[in-house]
Amino acid sequence: LANKTARIAWKLMTTGEDYDSARLDARADVLGAAAA
């Protein structure tokens, strides 16, 4: 699970999203990434 969260955080960082923001929305982003 931690690895998946890290991948999401890295993706957001590479797309220009704020890291702090990514941390707060990590759970929702994981669900979105899984669906994509």
1-36 pLDDT per residue, tens: 788 888 887 887 777 655 555 565 666 666 666 655
Q: CA 24 to CA 2: how far, in whole Å?
A: 14
Read off the DSSP letter of residue 25: T
The domain locations on the chain are: 2-35
Q: CA 33 to CA 36: how far, in whole Å?
A: 5
- Helix runs in the chain, H state only: 2-15, 19-24, 26-35
- What is the reported pLDDT for 11? 81
- What is the reported pLDDT for 3? 86
Read off the DSSP letter of residue 16: T
